[in-house]
Amino acid sequence: MYSGVEDNIFQDEIEKVSTDTTPGAPEIEQKTKENMAMVVDPDPRSRVRWQRKKVIQMVRRNGRLTRDESIQMSERELLHKSEFMPTSVKKLVMLARQIAGKSVDDAIVQMKWSKKKMAAEVGYYLEEARDLAIAQRGMGLGKVNNETLKTPKKIQTVDGKWIEIEDPTRMYIAQSWVGRGPWRGKRIDYKGRGRMGIIRHPSTSLTVLLKEEKTRIREYEERVEKKNKKGPWVHLPNRPVYGQRPYYSW
């Protein structure tokens, strides 16, 4: 039913390789399960215990998903970190605060017309993050997949700004922060009276978290629902007074 090794079209090459083995040549180690165990599965007992714990958790929950798991399955996001740029944290954090909360297209326009030296680099990494989000996660394809809203939805952001959303898959920058990198170098700062100091040249990275407007819509609806569940605020609640005294307590 199945052809054997003798029927292989590469049988001549296989026999040639097997006969050309020299006594002084090192033996090539085959990638078997036993040889790769130290790298692939270095601690099998811990792995078995972890798998057993996860199976027990799955049986206890009866397949029910947690809130975070359901959100991760229904909403897309992308975390992108840039290379270390030749600037300081104090300078780059201003640009990170400027683009936080804006849509990706608006942030790119802001960096295009900014006078800051690192604005061009930040704009480049924003375009790179946008392209990766589209290619890897399928974000921002609402107009292609006909997922746009017939009537724009008006929501309020965490900052208190009201915006209208037509495409729930539009990407925005949910978070942006900077990180200090290694020192690029140092030089001597000569001062008066024979004194000196050392000036270090820093490097900083930028990290952005891209999400879709679906996330912002859900967060707004949750805030509104939480506010509606709260009862009216009582200015002077009717509480019993304990430990009354015939004189002042202050």
Domains and CATH numbers, the chain: 79-148+169-210 (3.90.470.10)
Give residue 46's pLDDT band: very low, low, confident or very high (50, 70, 90).
very high
β-strand partners of 210: 78, 173
Stretch 207-221: mean pLDDT, rounded?
A: 98
pLDDT band at 2 (very low <50, low <70, confident <90, very high): very low
Is the per-residue pLDDT at 147 higher than 50?
A: yes
Region 196-212: mean pLDDT is 98
pLDDT band at 237 (very low <50, low <70, confident <90, very high): confident
**pLDDT over 80 at 23, yes or no:** no
How far lies 88's CA from each of 65, 94, 118, 177, 207, in Å? Answer: 43, 11, 10, 13, 15
Q: What is the mean pLDDT of the chain?
A: 91
201: number of Cβ within 10 Å = 12
Which amino acid does the sequence have at 144?
A: V
Share of the chain above pLDDT 90, in %: 73
Token code pair at residue 186: 């140092």
196-201/185-190 β-pairing: antiparallel
Residue 123 and residue 108 in contact, taking contact as beta carbons nearer than 8 Å: yes
Q: Report the Cα 246 to chain-centroid distance in Å.
A: 63
Whole-number Å distance between alpha carbons of 72 and 29: 42
Least confident range of 28-32, 33-37, 173-177: 28-32
Helix (H) or strand (E) holding 207: strand 204-212
Taking the alpha carbons at both ends of the chain, their separation in whole angstroms is: 100
Residue 37 confidence class, pLDDT cut points 50, 70, 90 = confident
Dihedral angle over CA of 42, 46, 51, 56, nearest 10: 180
Tens digit of each residue's pLDDT (9 = 90 or more) over 76-124: 999 999 999 999 999 999 999 999 999 999 999 999 999 999 999 999 9
Distances (CA, A) of 129 to 8, 69, 99, 188: 48, 24, 14, 38
Evaluate whether 178 touches 172 at the Cβ level (below 8 Å). Answer: no
Task: Determine the pLDDT at residue 232.
Answer: 86
Q: pLDDT above 70 covers what percent of the chain?
A: 89
Answer whether residue 26 shows pLDDT above 80: no
